[in-house]
Structure formats: structure tokens, C-alpha cells
Structure 1
Amino acid sequence: MSTEETAGHRVLVVDDEPNIVDVVSMALRFQGFEVATAGTGEEALAQVDAFRPQIMVLDVMLPDMTGFDVADRLGAQRGLVPIVFLTARDATEDKLRGLTSGGDDYVTKPFSLEELVARIRVILRRTGQATEDASVLRFEDLELDEDTREVTRAGHSIELTDTEYRLLRYFLRNPRRVLTRAQILDHVWDYDFGGDARVLETYVSYLRKKLDGVTTPAGEPVAPLIHTARGVGYALRAPRRPA
């Protein structure tokens, strides 16, 4: 499920910790989701009616009630709103209660944002809200299949290293967006990466050479797709067309 395919999918994030809400909401918006938030169980129930989310990320420990209580009170609406429980409670009995009380998944804190987003996508596919071709990310004449890890440009197969693959996948999940160097380092090399930003420049150079080293079916050179935003970072966008 690409960024363009997730656009319009509504996610409700419910947690009483503002920093968790901010981080999760930002990650989801970067992936093209529409996001609403709530800090209590009552607010969550109200947002289900007002925002009509297609999936909910729900903390178990809320100020006014538990996430399990929220799931119970959704009643008939529960079947329309898949739930990913997000909590620091990692005891087996808590996980079992979450999964048997109507939860579709159970993620414990601390957690990986990339994993959380991936689990949300899986649930959307399972509930029929994603397209059958959701695993293929496309932009212009560039394609990446997340299931087979195959990459093609203008019909040519392109071999990538694991790091190049993860870098390209992040660009394809955020087409036309200017991504800062810090954002790319965080998402591709993980949040604790403490290396030199020149590593990123090196891998962008490698990726450009591979993506731009093929020709169109007419035998003409392909146009570059990865562009530099000076002083900021990079963006995957179509080349400017002649006026």
C-alpha cells in the first residue's frame, strides 16, 4: 500500500501521552493517512462518530476508562473500526484480553513506528480497504514490489542493495514531498543512527546512478527522479516538463 493509496484512509490515534500522539500522528501523516487524535476514552468515542475512522490506534491505559472499555462501548460500530491496541502492558494475559476483546493487533511500548505503520497497512488489506495491488509502489515509470523486493524502471530490472532498497522505498512512500536529511536518516538507518550525513549523500548518489542508468522503450535516457532540495534534503518528483 503506497503513500498515494493510503491517502484518504482515516486513522484515529488515542493516547493520553501527548508525545506519543504527536510522534505516531506525524509518522502516519508522512505515509499519507488522515489522522485525528483523542486523549481520553470519551473523546475517542466521540471521534468515532465525528471522524469515522477506518482504523484506531488505541492505548489501553486512559484517564477515564481502559482501551478495552472503549472497544466494548463501541458496540455495533466495533465491527467497522479495526483496533490496534498500543500499550506498555506486555503481560500475556493483557495481550490475550486485547485480542479477545475485539482488538485486531496488540503492540507494546516501546515500539517501532515503521512496524506500527506496517501493521496498520496489513489490517487495512485484511479488512478489504486496500487494493489488491497494494504491495506495489509506483511513481512515473518506477516500480517497487514490497512482496518480491523487485525494482523496475522503464521496464528494466534494477538490482539494489538492502540499504538502497530501503532508501528507495522511503522515497516511494513519500512522493513529491521534500524529505529532510534527518528524516531520511531516521527512517532508513533507524532512529538511533549517529553517523555522518555524508553516508546519505553517498547512497543517494548510488541510487541515482542505478535508477538513471537505463533508457526508455524508445532508447532515450530516462529523466532523473530524485531531486536535491538545497540545504534541506531530497524529493522524489517528476522532472519539469518543457513549457
Structure 2
Amino acid sequence: MRQQEKAKVTEAPRPAKILVVEDEPNMVAGLRDNFEFEGYEVITAGDGIEGLRRAPEESPDLVVLDVMMPRMSGLEVCKQLRAQRGSIPIIMLTARGQELDKVVGLELGADDYVTKPFSIRELLARVKAVLRRTAVVPKHQDQHSFGNVEVDLRHHRVLRSGKALDVSSKEFELLKYFICHSGETLSRDRLLEEVWGYENYPTSRTVDTHLVRLRQKLEPDPEQPQYFLTVHGTGYRFVG
């Protein structure tokens, strides 16, 4: 019995690790306390340069990143993190509610955006949602191929005829969602909710734009798609 119990303890999943990059000590302390209370492992960095150093060292599952910081802005940190590890989930924090900041952050690859002051419950909910959307793929599902395309879901790589493709983080998440729900008809609203996580994202045309890019990169003939099919009046279906 003890051996069985020991095996169960060994197999328990590790808590998600969150890197908080924030220069306000009180904010850092509050975030650490709340994240640890929810069972997350927390590491911190006091500015953007330290955050860039700690991210590859610690391999966090998610980064909570302030925009306004000394030495290097959060927007530049986000850009460099995306270049170093394109798949890492990022939630950005800012004291500025300007729409331009939000748009720039999202264009640089942030997965979500929270404006200070914010409810800790809201932030926790967004953290859980982003971690759910970017969860590690089970080992038996980490490779997928269709036509001359190979997708490594675990390491976030896409090859076509053996050559690596430049695929943005959101394009990859959309592709991953299609692969994990192959054969299902997926509405634009469902894709927005599951891949972007924004109930108030500008328009459902966002999905259409990203799908056009995937077709251009992955379809033999983007004008006559074989894998990413349009279901008129409903959404899209992946059949690869």
C-alpha cells in the first residue's frame, strides 16, 4: 500500500510556474501571495532585463509582465520573449488604459491584457484561462502531419517540405486548436473564446484573417483549400 501511495505522490503533476516581471514591490508581494495561495509556483524579476534573464533559466509556464518598467519596457520584453520562446504565454499589466497600448501588446504576441487597478479575481481567472488554452499536449498527440506539413505541437514548430515556417504564436495556437479538434465544425465565436480568450475582441474577422494566413502557409492552393474548410454560415472545419 505504501509503495502504491508513493507512486501516486510521484506522479502528481507539478504546479504551474509563473514568472512575475514587475518593478513595484507591493504589487509583486500581492501577486506572489495570491498566486501561491492558488497553488502556483512563483518566481519574480524586478525589471525587464532581469525578466529576460530569468525566463530561459526558469522555463515558466506563464509570464505576468508589467508594461511600464525601468531599464526596458514590458513591450520590448514581450517582443524579445516571443523571439526567444514563441510559445510562452504572456499576460501584460499596465497602469495606462490607452487602446494603443493594448493593441501594440497584442500585436507583439501577448495572450491577454489587464489594466491597473484590476481585481485579483479577474487576473486569476485570466491566468487559468490562458494556461488552459496553452496546456501541454499529451505525448501521444505531440506530432501531427498532413500533406507535406509536419507540426510539432510540443515544441511549437511547423515544417513544410522539411523547411521551417515562420508562424506567429496566435497562428500556431489556432492551428493547434484545429488539429486537436480535427473533423469538428468550429464557429468563429468558439475559436475567439478558446484561442484568443476575449469576449470583446474587435470582430470575428480576426479569425478569418488568421485562417487566411494559415491557408497561405500550409495549403497547396490557398484558393482551393483541402485542409482548412469553410462551413458556410457556421465557421471552419479542419480535415488534415
| TM-score (structure 2 length as normaliser) | 0.50
Indicate which of 80, 103, 107 corresponds to 1:73: 80
Residue 60 of structure 1: aligned partner? 67
Q: Summarize the alignment of residues 195-210 of structure 1 with structure 2, pairs less than 5 Å apart.
A: none
Residue 17 of structure 2: aligned partner? 10
Query: Is the counterpart of residue 91 in structure 1 residue 98 in structure 2?
Result: yes
State the Cα distance separating 1:55 from its structure 2 match: 0.4
State the Cα distance separating 1:130 from its structure 2 match: 9.1
State the Cα distance separating 1:76 from its structure 2 match: 3.6
Name segments (4+ residues, structure 1) moved above 6 Å. none
Indicate which of 128, 131, 142 corresponds to 2:135: 128
Residue 125 of structure 2: aligned partner? 118
- Bigger CA drift: 118-127 or 74-83? 74-83
Structure-2 change in CA distance of 1:31 and 1:46 (3 Å)? same
Q: Summarize the alignment of residues 189-228 of structure 1 with structure 2, pairs less than 5 Å apart.
A: none
Contact 1:12 1:56 in 2 (8 A): yes
- Bigger CA radius of gyration: 1
Question: Matched residue of 1:102: which SS?
Answer: coil
- Percentage of pairs with the same residue: 48
State the Cα distance separating 1:28 from its structure 2 match: 0.3
C-alpha distance in structure 1 between counterparts of 2:19 and 2:129, whole Å: 16
C-alpha distance in structure 1 between counterparts of 2:33 and 2:137, whole Å: 21
Which ranges of structure 1 fall in alignment gaps of 5 or more residues? 132-243
Which structure ranks higher in relative contact order (CA pairs < 8 Å, sequence separation ≥ 6)?
A: 1
C-alpha distance in structure 2 between counterparts of 1:27 and 1:15, whole Å: 15
Residue 145 of structure 2: aligned partner? none
Residue 116 of structure 2: aligned partner? 109
Query: How large is the RMSD of aligned CA atoms in angstroms?
Result: 1.9
Indicate which of 19, 25, 28 corresponds to 2:26: 19
| TM-score (structure 1 length as normaliser) | 0.49
State the Cα distance separating 1:8 from its structure 2 match: 1.7
State the Cα distance separating 1:100 from its structure 2 match: 0.9
Structure-2 change in CA distance of 1:130 and 1:90 (3 Å)? farther
TM-superposition CA deviations, 1:172-223 (whole Å, max 9, x none): xxxxxxxxxxxxxxxxxxxxxxxxxxxxxxxxxxxxxxxxxxxxxxxxxxxx
Residue 143 of structure 1: aligned partner? none
TM-superposition CA deviations, 1:93-125 (whole Å, max 9, x none): 111111111100010000111110110110011
State the Cα distance separating 1:58 from its structure 2 match: 0.2
Indicate which of 24, 28, 53 corresponds to 2:35: 28
Residue 53 of structure 2: aligned partner? 46
Q: Summarize the alignment of residues 170-181 of structure 1 with structure 2, pairs less than 5 Å apart.
A: none
Contact 2:17 2:62 in 1 (8 A): yes
Q: Which amino acid aligns with 1:15?
A: E
Contact 2:82 2:88 in 1 (8 A): no
Question: Matched residue of 2:52: which SS?
Answer: helix
State the Cα distance separating 1:11 from its structure 2 match: 0.2
Residue 206 of structure 1: aligned partner? none
Question: Matched residue of 2:122: which SS?
Answer: helix
C-alpha distance in structure 2 between counterparts of 1:117 and 1:95, whole Å: 19
C-alpha distance in structure 1 between counterparts of 2:92 and 2:73, whole Å: 11
C-alpha distance in structure 2 between counterparts of 1:35 and 1:21, whole Å: 10
Which ranges of structure 2 fall in alignment gaps of 5 or more residues? 1-11, 139-240
